Amino acid sequence: MRFEKGHKAATRQHILAVASKCFRSEGVSGAGISGIMGAAGLTNGAFYAHFESKEALVREAVSSALAHQQHSLEKKIEAGVRLEEVIRNYLSEAHRTDAACGCPSAALLPEIARQSTPTRQTYEHGLDSFVSTLAALLPEASSPDATRRATAIFGLMVGTLQLARAVPSVARAEQILEGGVEAALRLAGELSD
């Protein structure tokens, strides 16, 4: 059966989008090829026409998710969003409850740390790009330590979100998120003591 030109590329992008959501909601080890392909409405056999291995899929899904996150942040900045709003949106109840569509770092960081060097390098590239954009939002963005502070702020945000997702109590999760917002704003220089 012949397909239209561009069908294979579109199918590949669809698999990447589905895999990215599956990995973020179920974890890399919890999301198998058959589950991902089933969620994509495709057979397992179609997988190998697009990816050489699950590891290759993980690497590309992580790259795709990070690029989407980066693009989203850039669009917010273009719309005039300030750092405080970025922090509050990231550390929100909506983000806490939607791991599948949320930050790949908060959902996958422990598993990314156990992946191959090429996957970790792909993650590092996306992280550096995101942190650089975040640094531009800092009150003293031109200072030499802006990237270091932005990395610390992002690390605080990721860890806070992971903690809030780990507790079953909504009230406790909200306390964790509120504490994270306050700490991130202080670190950013947006709040004084």
Residue-wise pLDDT tens digits, 141-164 = 888 899 999 999 999 999 999 999
Tokens of 96: 């806490």
pLDDT value at position 54? 94
In which domain, by residue range, is 91 found?
Answer: 7-188
Both tokens of 166, joined, read 């780990």
Q: Would residue 86 count as lying in a domain? A: yes
CATH number of the domain within which 90 lies: 1.10.357.10
Q: Which has the closest alpha carbon to 68: 16, 28, 124?
A: 16
- Kindly report the pTM of this predicted structure: 0.89
| Percent with pLDDT over 90 in the chain | 85
Angle at the Cα of 169 (from 89 to 101), degrees rounded to 5? 35
For the chain, the domain total comes to 1
3-state secondary structure of 19: helix
Q: What type of residue sits at position 106? A: A
| Residue entry with tokens 């057979």 | 43
Q: Are 109 and 115 in contact (CB under 8 A)?
A: no
How far apart are the C-alpha atoms of 51 and 11, rounded to whole Å? 11
12 pLDDT higher than 60: yes
Exposure letters 43-58 (e unless 16+ CB within 10 A, then b):
eeeebeebbeebeebb
Q: Is residue 193 part of a domain?
A: no
- Check residue 7 and give its pLDDT: 74
Check whether 1 has a pLDDT greater than 90: no
Decide if pLDDT at 44 tops 90: no
For the chain, percent of residues with pLDDT exceeding 70? 96
Q: Residue 88: its pLDDT value, please? A: 98
Give the pLDDT band of residue 190 (cuts 50, 70, 90): confident
Is residue 1 situated within a structural domain? no
Looking at per-residue confidence, does 154 or 44 come out higher? Answer: 154
User: Is the residue at 2 inside a domain?
Assistant: no
Q: Examine the pLDDT at 192 and tell me if it is beyond 70.
A: no
Task: For residue 71, tell me if it sits in a domain.
Answer: yes
Q: Which residues contact 113 (CB under 8 A, 6 or more apart)?
A: 120
**In terms of Cα–Cα distance, which of 142, 121, 138 is closest to 186?**
138
The type of residue at 27 is: G
pLDDT band at 139 (very low <50, low <70, confident <90, very high): confident
Q: 176 is written with which tokens? A: 């964790």
Please report the pLDDT score of residue 191 as a whole number: 66
User: Does the pLDDT of residue 170 top 80, yes or no?
Assistant: yes
Is residue 95 in a domain?
yes
In a domain, 91, yes or no: yes
